[in-house]
């Protein structure tokens, strides 16, 4: 079992695709990485609709619930409110090692691309970019408009990883969980997190 070497900010926004974000959170906690969790009001609605998961608007309540839900080691998960400006993620003097926005709405994508840090999620992403830390964005929309594509290009040019949740089928997935794990595995790869979620291409094991 790995030691909690990394501090990773996970942000959930109100796009469809919540199973990706929740599974990512579960695996990172299993691997004992420290997690700063942020989520929007719309993400609370999507989590309830897609997974029957109630995310409290009170950070401490959410922290306790999710720690139990994932059977995580106490203290690994820290939840912050949407305007909790004294959170570590709000300052470049104390940035996380990496950040993932999964799923990412086009509104959040636009706010990050244009530097509009009106909520903590956007500010945390802005910190990642300016401090040249790893930022992985998992945009969930189809089709993409020219505006969406231009915003993604701008963020990619700034160093962000744009990782649409497009699963591969060459490994013959049998369940929805297999498809979710394919995407989560690619996110973990870009975070530099060792995992064994799925077989690797060309690996007989």
Report the pLDDT value the prediction gives residue 201, as an integer from 0 to 100.
82
> For residue 122, what are its two tokens?
């956007």
Q: Which residues are annotated as a binding site?
A: 14-16, 40, 105-108, 140, 170, 186
Domain over 7-191 is classified CATH 3.40.50.12240: no
Report the pLDDT value the prediction gives residue 205, as an integer from 0 to 100.
61
Rounded to an integer, what distance in angstroms lies between the CA atom of residue 158 and that of residue 119?
20
Q: Which residues are annotated as a binding site for FMN?
A: 14-16, 40, 105-108, 140
Q: Which residues are annotated as a binding site for dimethylallyl phosphate?
A: 170, 186
Tell me which of 111-115, 168-172, 185-189 is least confident.
Answer: 168-172
Residue 197: Cβ within 10 Å count: 16
Q: Domain boundaries in the chain?
A: 7-191
pTM flag (> 0.75):
yes
The end-to-end CA distance of the chain, in Å, is 20
Per residue in 121-151, pLDDT tens? 999 999 999 999 999 999 999 999 999 999 9
Taking a C-beta distance cutoff of 8 angstroms, is the pair 32, 64 a contact? no
């Amino acid at each position: 079992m790995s030691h909690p070497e990394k501090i990773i900010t996970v942000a959930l926004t109100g796009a469809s695709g919540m199973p990706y974000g929740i599974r990512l959170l579960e695996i990172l906690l299993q691997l004992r990485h420290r997690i700063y969790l942020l989520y929007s009001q719309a993400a609370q609605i999507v989590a309830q609709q897609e997974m029957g998961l109630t995310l409290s608007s009170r950070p401490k309540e959410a922290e306790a619930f999710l720690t139990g839900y994932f059977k995580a080691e106490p203290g690994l998960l820290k939840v912050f409110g949407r305007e909790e400006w004294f959170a570590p993620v709000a300052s470049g003097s104390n940035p996380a090692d990496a950040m993932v926005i999964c799923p990412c709405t086009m509104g959040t994508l636009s706010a990050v691309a244009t530097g509009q840090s009106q909520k903590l999620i956007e500010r945390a992403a802005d910190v990642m970019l300016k401090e040249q830390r790893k930022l992985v964005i998992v945009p969930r929309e189809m089709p993409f408009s020219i505006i969406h594509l231009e915003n993604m290009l701008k963020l990619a040019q700034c160093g962000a990883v744009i990782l649409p949740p497009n699963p591969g089928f060459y490994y013959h997935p049998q369940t929805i969980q297999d498809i979710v794990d394919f995407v989560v595995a690619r996110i973990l790869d870009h975070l530099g997190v060792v995992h064994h979620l799925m077989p690797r291409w060309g690996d007989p094991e």
